[in-house]
Each structure stands twice: as C-alpha cells, then as structure tokens.
C-alpha cells in the first residue's frame, strides 16, 4: 500500500498527515499496530469522521474475527481523531493538545470479520475540557460495535506534538 504523505516539522511527529484521505501516517505506535496508515477517510466534518478501516491478521482471534481486546484501540484512536476532525485537522498552524481517555464503554453486537469495515464517530458533547464521543463499527452495513468514550483535554503542552 502507499504511504500517506506526512508533514514532519520541528514540532510535529512524522505520523501527522497532510493527505485529507488519510487519518495518520506511519510512526504512530497504535496506528502502526492497526495499520491505520492504510485506512481511508470517507467523510469528515467538524466533530465527525467516517473511515474505512481494515482488519490486520495479527488482530484476529482464533475464529478469524477482530479480537475483542483490540476493539478499544480502534475506538480510542478514532475518538481522538474525531475530536480534531474537520478542516483544521490538516492545518499545521492549529495547535494540538493532548487528550486523555477517562472512560470507555463498548457494546458488541456482531463480529468484525474484515477484510474491511466502516467506523463512524461523532462528538456528542463538548463541555469545557471534557469531550464525549460515540463510535460505531459497521460490518457489511450491520451495526457491529457501539462505543462511548469520554476524553479530557489536557492543558499541559504535549511534549510529543500530536498524539
């Protein structure tokens, strides 16, 4: 697969992309594990993301499905990018802070079988430094996973740039 164009600068890590069709480039630990550098952004607006993700072999359980323990990694990553979604996501001039996940709830309805599936995520509520995000996984147009994530914006500067 093609490596998405990244935007390394003095203050930004190499996994920050400038390609609007990509969410993250190589070099992000969780993103590399999930092979998120190959995901495709299908739709994006302020506080909303819809991506086509895929299921790497190393994330499968013995039945050939997404291992449930890896689902929170997908949810956490997509929720984080959903908070930043919109026109400003690719703007190198927009400062990025750190987000800490403080709570996550996941309900499983159907197995994720891959090879690809759709993830939709939306900021439901943003109050002060607290952000509440709903994330849904669809396998063949069927709701398979529904997750709710609460994140807290950290005011201290992020020594790593974007996360």
- Minimal CA–CA distance to 7: which of 21, 30, 31, 24? 24
Asked whether the bond before 106 is cis by omega within 30 degrees of 0, the reply is no
Quick: pLDDT tens for 121-159. 999 999 999 999 999 999 999 999 999 999 999 976 655
**List of residues 6+ apart from 64 with CB closer than 8 A:** 113
Per-residue pLDDT of 70-126, as tens digits, reads: 999 999 999 999 998 887 777 767 777 789 999 999 999 999 999 999 999 999 999
Read off the pLDDT of residues 4-26 as tens digits, 9 standing for 90 and up. Answer: 444 444 556 667 766 778 888 88
**Structural contact between residues 56 and 64, judged by C-beta atoms closer than 8 angstroms:** no
Domains and CATH numbers, the chain: 29-154 (3.10.129.10)
């Amino acid at each position: 697969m093609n490596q998405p164009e990244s935007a390394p600068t003095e203050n930004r890590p190499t996994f920050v992309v400038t390609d609007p069709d990509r969410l993250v480039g190589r070099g992000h630990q969780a993103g590399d594990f999930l092979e998120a550098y190959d995901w495709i952004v299908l739709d994006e607006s302020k506080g909303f993301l819809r991506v086509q993700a895929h299921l790497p072999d190393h994330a499968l359980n013995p039945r050939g499905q997404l291992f449930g323990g890896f689902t929170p990694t997908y949810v956490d990553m997509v929720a984080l990018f959903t908070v930043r979604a919109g026109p400003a996501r690719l703007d190198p001039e927009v400062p990025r802070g750190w987000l800490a996940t403080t709570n996550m709830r996941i309900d499983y309805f159907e197995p994720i079988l891959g090879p690809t599936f759709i993830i939709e995520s939306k900021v439901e509520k943003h109050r002060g430094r607290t952000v509440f995000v709903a994330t849904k996984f669809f396998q063949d147009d069927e709701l398979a996973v529904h997750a709710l994530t609460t994140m807290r914006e950290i005011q201290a500067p992020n020594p790593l740039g974007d996360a």
